[in-house]
Amino acid sequence: MQISPFLFGDKIMNERTADPILTTEGIPLKVSLQKAERRNKIRATLLVAPLLFFILITFLIPIGDMLLRSVDDSYINTVFPKTFEKYKKWDRQGLPSEELYKTMFFEVKEGSGYSIGKATTRMNYAKSGWKSLLKKSKRKFKKIEEGPYKEQMIAIDKRWGDMEYWKALGVMVDPTTAGYYLNAVDLKYNVDKEIVQQKENRRIYNHTWVKTFKVSLLVMFFCLILGYPISYLLSTLPLKYSNLLMICVLLPFWTSLLVRTVAWMVMLQQKGVFNNLLVMANVIADENRFKLMYNETATIIVMTQILLPFMVLPLYSVMRTISPNYMRAALNLGASPLHAFWKIYMPNSVPGISAGCMLVFILAIGYYITPELVGGKDGQMIGNWIAYHLKTTLNWGLSAALGAILLGVLTVLYWVYNKLVGIENIKLG
């Protein structure tokens, strides 16, 4: 242990005896040190505690909850526990026995309206029609006093005699399900709980996943192409000009996202500013106006503009630290400007490129409001489906699964990046 002599006085340095080293108060130094350190540790922990608590509440718990929701299927088991118990013994050949019908009958008849209401929403995901069947049954079962129940139930609604409905229950028997994840990649359980492809006209997600990655990569690419020269200029200009330019970069950043998006709508729509100018200048004919709004092109253009500062800022702060002497030296030693740039400047700016690309890509992949507003029919991304299921269908399990996949993909990308480039190579300034 090396301890500065100035800290504890000469005593420590001079008395190298077998006795424990004591402080001036006569307490062993080790204990005293630990005490001091403990106090520091507590102080440090207290300082970090609010942040830790904040992250726990706003970040870790919601993510944990999301991951749970994406596999949780236990609710329905609490609504029809006895039915599901009996259901497991059903051979799935021919209609169930009177006993199973009877159990279902009583659990529907005596169950609380709300819990059955919630359960039917879930059951409808497995097979459309459960909702109205149970709603109707709940009303009509009140009039049935005694068994046998099977015939009476089928008489109320012939769907009770449809094997497909009974088989569909089997998908929900387990308290956890991979069903939401399957749905998120256009697969599903059929009524026999085999994994099959979704019907062709209902396949939306794989297509959207591909599109989401494509759009995010393109946006990242365009941001880099556009942001690199600006950042270079910013970092090399004298301060009084670069400050002005910096404000130009930051100004859109300070403007509301919605305002910018709507401004683009005005600019790009078929009878918008851009097309009007071109028509007025006779560059294009009136009937050949460009379709730049409400499609994928619009999504890419608008997102690029919105995310550009996230590329420029890290690039700029890294470029500012690259000494101009390197380039001068390379040129002096006979490299062509292009060669010097490629061999000297570019590698030096890689940390900024990495940081900018990561930021833009991660932000882009979860984007939702811009594609919603300008994306039209083919510019929608996975975030739009997450929002749709959260808000409209209330299929939160599917939303959670889509979100979890997004999180998983990003984690994998981050890992790959770390392996290839090294995370220590990221620099924000």
Contact positions vs other proteins (CB under 8 A): 113-114, 116-118, 120-121, 124-125, 128-129, 131-132, 135, 201-204, 207-208, 211, 269-271, 294, 372, 376-378, 380, 385, 388, 390-395
Q: Which is nearer to other proteins, 93 or 392 (CB)?
A: 392
CB 371 within 8 A of CB 301: no
Task: Kindly state the smallest distance separating residue 124's Cβ from other proteins, in Å.
Answer: 6
Q: Which is nearer to other proteins, 85 or 378 (CB)?
A: 378
Q: Which of 429, 383, 420, 424 is nearest to 212 (CA)?
A: 383
CA atoms within 13 A on the CB side of 152: 16
- Going by the DSSP 8-state scheme, the letter that residue 97 receives in this structure is P
CB 319 within 8 A of CB 231: yes
Cα distance between residue 424 and residue 417, in whole Å: 11
Neighbours of 354 (CB within 10 A): 19
Q: Which is nearer to other proteins, 143 or 199 (CB)?
A: 199
Task: Kindly state the smallest distance separating residue 132's Cβ from other proteins, in Å.
Answer: 4
Task: Kindly state the smallest distance separating residue 65's Cβ from other proteins, in Å.
Answer: 11
Q: Which is nearer to other proteins, 132 or 321 (CB)?
A: 132
Reported residue count of the chain is 429
Burial 203-221 (b: 16+ CB within 10 A, else e): eebeebbebbbebbebbbe
Q: Which is nearer to other proteins, 117 or 175 (CB)?
A: 117
Task: Kindly state the smallest distance separating residue 121's Cβ from other proteins, in Å.
Answer: 7
Amino acid at 193: K
Task: Kindly state the smallest distance separating residue 405's Cβ from other proteins, in Å.
Answer: 17
Q: Which is nearer to other proteins, 252 or 376 (CB)?
A: 376
Phi-psi region of 294 (alpha: psi -120 to 50; beta: other; left: phi over 0): left
Task: Kindly state the smallest distance separating residue 359's Cβ from other proteins, in Å.
Answer: 27
What are the backbone angles phi and psi of residue 291, rounded to the nearest 5°? -95, 90
Q: Which is nearer to other proteins, 121 or 236 (CB)?
A: 121
Task: Kindly state the smallest distance separating residue 329's Cβ from other proteins, in Å.
Answer: 54
Cα distance between residue 190 and residue 404, in whole Å: 23
